[in-house]
Amino acid sequence: MERAIGDPGEFLNNSVASRAVNIEPDMRLVRRYDIYHHRYRSLLQGWGSAGLALLALGIGLCWWQHPVWGGILIVLSLPVLFIASRLPQTLKGDAYRNGLLIPGIITNLNPLTLTCVADVRPGGEDDEEPGTIVWGVKEVIIKELPGQAAELGMQAPCVSLFGDTDEEHRFYTNFEPRPLAWGTKEAGIIEQARRVIDDEEWLLLPVLARAYAAAEKNDEGIAYFDAELTPVSLPKAEATEPAS
């Protein structure tokens, strides 16, 4: 059955987004504007080149009668090549198909800054006791919103993939917001996605955006808030690298 904008996404990275855009992204736009796509493509080139160089040098040493050193380099090349083999999965535009649809607003024009909020509870539990993390807020500096004239306070629906959770699996330690405009130039899709996001989330975002500046952030630049929009402090060591 075809999925509509706002329906749950498909299974991705051991989870399912409760609200996704479910579109085929314009990969020309993604390759041009998506900062995470650029980052992972650079990582792929770096890790892939390093792994191939280690493998080639190891084979060469074995050929030249140095099997011990050659074997060491070949073994070292395997995890590097494994990491490189995983990175292409991040370059397929999955965020625009199956990432969580979240609200974002423009909070600065120079540099152009997008502030986004997401429910960072892995299971979407209804635990709203004071001090329990519910919301994560993150700023992303972007070059532009293609096809749109950015204005302060402008609503920009975003899609996001999530990284690992904390050790107790209470909340995600990173997420990667992408303006939907990086994946499609169709204004109708963007507007429909904007309307699908709950009004409550659009209303609380400006409040959280103002509180973000003074709130403590983890190493990924995320500030956490409970259901009453009170900042929650965290040890910065809990931040982790985003998953693909």
Which pLDDT score is estimated for 57?
80
Burial of 152 (0-12, 13-18, 19+ CB in 10 A): exposed
Residue in the block written with tokens 């504007």: 33
pLDDT digits (tens, 9 = 90+) for 190-227: 999 999 999 999 999 999 999 999 999 998 999 999 98
Please tell me the distance from the alpha carbon of residue 107 to that of residue 119, in angstroms, as a whole number.
20
Burial of 141 (0-12, 13-18, 19+ CB in 10 A): exposed
Tell me which of 1.10.3720.10, 2.40.410.10, 2.30.30.50, 3.20.20.140 is the CATH number of domain 95-238: 2.40.410.10
* Cis amide linkage into residue 122, ω under 30° from 0: no
pTM recorded for the entire structure: 0.78
Interior CA angle at 204 toward 200 and 206, to 5°?
A: 135
Which pLDDT score is estimated for 239?
45
- Residues, the chain: 244
pLDDT digits (tens, 9 = 90+) for 115-149: 999 999 987 566 566 668 889 999 999 988 888 88
Residue 138 bridge partners (DSSP): 116, 222
Give how far Cα 91 sits from Cα of 50, 58, 142, 155, 237, Å: 19, 29, 19, 26, 28
User: CB-hemisphere CA count at 13 Å for 8?
Assistant: 8
Q: Which residues of the chain have pLDDT under 70?
A: 1, 12-14, 38, 40-51, 77, 80-92, 124-131, 235-244
H or E stretch at 41: helix 35-63
CA-based nearest residue to 153, from 192, 210, 102: 210
Do 118 and 68 touch, CB atoms closer than 8 A?
no
Domain boundaries, the chain: 35-91, 95-238
Which pLDDT score is estimated for 88?
47
